[in-house]
Amino acid sequence: MRKLLTSAACAALLAGCHGGGATDNGAAMNEAAVTAATAFTIDKVSLPGEGRGDYLTVDNDARRLYVTHSSQVHILDLDTLRPVATVTGLKAAHGVALAGGHGFVSDGDQNAVIEFDPATGKVLKTIPTGKKPDSILHDAASGMVWAFNGDSEEISVIDPVKGAVIKTIKLPHGPEFSQTDNQGKIWVNMEEGNSIGVLDAKAMTLTGTIALTGCDGPAPLAFDPANRVLFAGCGNKVMVVADADSGKILASVPVGGDPDGIVFDAQRKRVYVANRDGGWTIVDQVDKGTYRVDQTLKIDEYAKTGALDPKTHRVFSSTADLVWPPAVPGKKHLPNAKSGTFRLMVVSEK
């Protein structure tokens, strides 16, 4: 493993900075509250293999980082970023959940969740699910692993001890990213419905939806457990903030184009919105319903998801050099990756 670029500093007065911000109901903040933009560094670490990546997962207890990458999952030491193991033999790895000492990766092209040993990367079991499992999480309240199936518009609830689906929950629309409070509630964005599905984790039922007024095509989702608010990234270049319990919309914040990942740093009260367009929107949380855009942080295009290390406050993403095939009518235009260019992105505050 070699570092491609070390500490490429992003100046405090970054050209992409926003001078103001968004607050309660999207109103502009008082100019006196605006402060200088935070300075960051971005490191890049080359990883082997072909294709692009998707979600990343941080295991703070075991100090491991899981980086999904097309047909594999890179398991790295979270502190040194050196390889620990690799899960291979996948077709389209999307997300990783951890439960009972095992790992579970959603494979969208196999319509399955693959159980593996986190220490060795050895595949232990293939668990059939619905069509195109994508987002995946472990919920402490139910003890289950929840796989969200985009094409069949349902959730496969997996018992990690049995290694089997024990319940299927139908959704009104295809699911995108999901979050849990580990106390009995789970939420999932539904892009086509412009809403968030609300689930009872213990009863394993859909109990309602949160309408995301002003949001077109929500994909990424993050959760603030202290204030119990949800952050939903929308295709119309806004992040909508909703009360997780009442469903009330608290704020709308301008962000970049095509967001696909959101990370919330609870200690620093900072939201990172990972946009596909080559800029991350960095947002400061003033209070539960008030937010200020700190800056647009320049980053490599399609560094579109993120995962936070709460110990070091580093945020991880992945991307590759992009190769755009001819557009096909009726299909979303997505890039391929140039061979040998896949890399981990490491964003740190200076």
Report pLDDT digits (tens) over 142-153.
Answer: 999 999 999 999
pLDDT tens digits, residue range 18-30? 444 454 444 444 4
Percentages (nearest 5) of helix, strand, coil residues in the chain: 0, 55, 45
According to the 3-state scheme, what is the secondary structure of 201-254?
CCCCEEEEEEECCCCCCCCCEEEECCCCEEEEEECCCEEEEEECCCCCEEEEEE
CA atoms within 13 A on the CB side of 248: 7
Whether the pLDDT of residue 7 is over 60: the answer is: no
Q: How many CB atoms lie within 10 A of CB 122?
A: 12
- State how far the Cα of 337 lies from the Cα of 271, in Å rounded to an integer: 28
The mean of the pLDDT values for the chain is 92
CA atoms within 13 A on the CB side of 313: 12
Q: Are 252 and 240 in contact (CB under 8 A)?
A: yes
Q: How wide is the angle at C-alpha 73 spanned by C-alphas 273 and 123, nearest 5°?
A: 140
pLDDT at 332: 82
Give the model's confidence band at 15: pLDDT under 50 very low, under 70 low, under 90 confident, else very high. Answer: very low
Q: Are 10 and 32 in contact (CB under 8 A)?
A: no
pLDDT tens digits, residue range 111-137? 999 999 999 999 999 999 999 999 999
Query: Which residue type sits at 107?
Result: D
- State how far the Cα of 297 lies from the Cα of 279, in Å rounded to an integer: 5
pLDDT tens digits, residue range 234-249? 999 999 999 999 999 9
Q: How wide is the angle at C-alpha 314 spanned by C-alphas 113 and 215, nearest 5°?
A: 65
Give the model's confidence band at 33: pLDDT under 50 very low, under 70 low, under 90 confident, else very high. Answer: very low
User: Roughly how many angstroms between the first and final C-alpha of the chain, as a whole number?
Assistant: 24
3-state secondary structure of 162: coil
3-state secondary structure of 32: helix
pLDDT at 35: 61
Whether the pLDDT of residue 270 is over 90: the answer is: yes
Paired strand residues for 259: 275
3-state secondary structure of 149: strand
Strand 322-323 versus strand 270-275 pairing type: unpaired
pLDDT at 330: 86
Q: How many CB atoms lie within 10 A of CB 254?
A: 17
Whether the pLDDT of residue 13 is over 70: the answer is: no
Which among 53, 126, 23, 122 has a CA at the least distance from the CA of 341? 53
- Give the gyration radius of the chain's Cα atoms: 19
Query: Which residue type sits at 326?
Result: P
Share above pLDDT 90 across residues of the chain, in percent, rounded to a whole number: 88
Burial (0-12, 13-18, 19+ Cβ within 10 Å), 262: buried
